[in-house]
Structure formats: C-alpha cells, structure tokens
Amino acid sequence: MGRDWQTDGPLEEEAYLMAVRWTLVLLAWSYLAIPIQAEHADIDLLILHLDSVTGVPTEEGRSSVDREPPAGGLRPRPVIPVKANDPLALQFVLINTYPHGEKKDVTVRYFVVREEKTGQKTLPGLGKDVVTQGRFTLNFKPKCRVGARVCFTLKERGVYLLRVETLNTDSDHEHFSAIDLRAE
C-alpha cells in the first residue's frame, strides 16, 4: 500500500517543506558553530639570531598559531638549535581575527623558560628558570595587533620553551605559538 511519490501532491509538498526546514536548521547551526570553532588569532612567532657586531637579525626558526586544549596544541612545535651565549631575539605579531565585537581585558603573554625536554606537553613554571617574559592586558577589538621584539641570550645549554599565548579570551580555547630552543 505504498504511496506514489510522483503523483501524491500533498506528500511531495510536505517532503519539500521538511527539506527546507532541515536546510534552515543546518544553516543556523553552522552560523552559530563557526564562531566557536573558528580561529580567533593569527600568530607569527620568530626566533632570530643577532649578529654580535652589527646586530643584524637572521631568522633561525618560525612558528604559527596553534590552540589549546588539547594541552600542547594540535601540532608538534618546531625544535630550533641555537648556541648558548649567542645574542638572540624573539619576535611575534599577534592579530585578533575574532570578528564579533570587542573582548575586554584579554592578556597576551610571552616567555622563554627552561624546560625538561623538547615537545613536553606541560608548561614549566614561570619562576627562576625564566629567561625573559612579558604580558599585556588590553581590550581586543577585531583586527587589533600585539607585537614584540625582545633580545635575550641563553646562558646555559639546555632546552628552552619560547611561547606566546592568549589568556582570558572568554572562549572554550586559547591560542598560542611555540618553539623549542635547543641551546648547544
């Protein structure tokens, strides 16, 4: 006792309306979901070697944006060999790509700190092993920027984490960019 889809007018109309309804639901879901899942920041992080006489920088390594959770991000971070006691500089530019209005009192933090091994997932404490660090608190408007260039040297051989990250963005995740420095 099946119904003829080709000739049964009211059922065809009902199916059409159902399709339209589901399409609208999917569109609404994707509109609401995109702001949650989209990247909110673009980060370009560099480690530079400075010529000890002229101070001219040479790029040693670069990393782009990643996100947490999961701890440590989605991608392994680059490991860059450097020389202890050589003049280095960290440089980053962070651009807020969240387009839906201003976020109050966002923190952007950067640091270079000694870590136990390359690629470790847990963040080292920012205590006595910090080489250099900084933080800025500001209102994030769409396309706003935060940047820094800070000279430093690694006095001892070992593995160091260079990282810049956002905090307090009122989101389910934060963004960061990181590089492991292996000082030899």
Partner 1 sequence: MMKQEVRPLPALFDHPPLEKVVLMPCWCIVSLVMGWVLASSRMAAPPFAIDLEVQSAKVHNTAHAEVVASGARASHRDVLDATAREPITVRWTLRSMAHKETIPDVVVHFFVVQEDKPGQQTVPKLDNGVAVETALTMDFKPTDKTQGELTFTLDRPGSYLIRLETIGAMAGSAGHESYAAMDLVVH
Q: What is the total residue count of the chain?
A: 184
Closest CA relative to residue 169, chosen from 75, 101, 80 = 101
- Give the nearer residue to partner 1 in terms of CB position, either 29 or 136: 136
Residue 48: alpha-carbon gap to chain centroid? 20
Question: CB under 8 A: which stretch of 14-22, 117-125, 133-141, 174-182 binds partner 1?
Answer: 133-141
Residues 140, 24 contacting (CB under 8 angstroms):
no
DSSP 8-state secondary structure symbol assigned to residue 122: S
Least distance in Å: CB of 108 to partner 1? 8
Binding mask 92-111 for partner 1 (x = CB under 8 A): ----------x-----x---
Question: CB under 8 A: which stretch of 24-32, 63-71, 136-144, 173-181 binds partner 1?
Answer: 136-144
Is residue 29 a contact residue for partner 1 (CB under 8 A)?
A: no
Residue 74: alpha-carbon gap to chain centroid? 10
Least distance in Å: CB of 162 to partner 1? 14
Binding mask 56-95 for partner 1 (x = CB under 8 A): -------------------------------x--------
Question: CB under 8 A: which stretch of 31-39, 74-82, 139-147, 176-184 binds partner 1?
Answer: 139-147
Phi, psi of 9, deg, nearest 5: -60, -55
Residues 94, 134 contacting (CB under 8 angstroms):
no
Binding residue for partner 1, selected from 132, 158, 168, 173, defined by CB under 8 A:
132
Annotate 81-107 with DSSP letters as a single string. Answer: EE-TTS-EEEEEEEEE---SS-EEEEE
Binding mask 141-180 for partner 1 (x = CB under 8 A): x--xxxxxxxxxx---------------------------
* Contacts (Cβ under 8 Å, ≥6 apart) of 88: 47, 48, 49, 50, 60, 82, 151, 152, 153, 154, 181
Judged by the rule CB under 8 A, the positions of this chain that interact with partner 1 are 55, 87, 102, 108, 130, 132-139, 141, 144-153
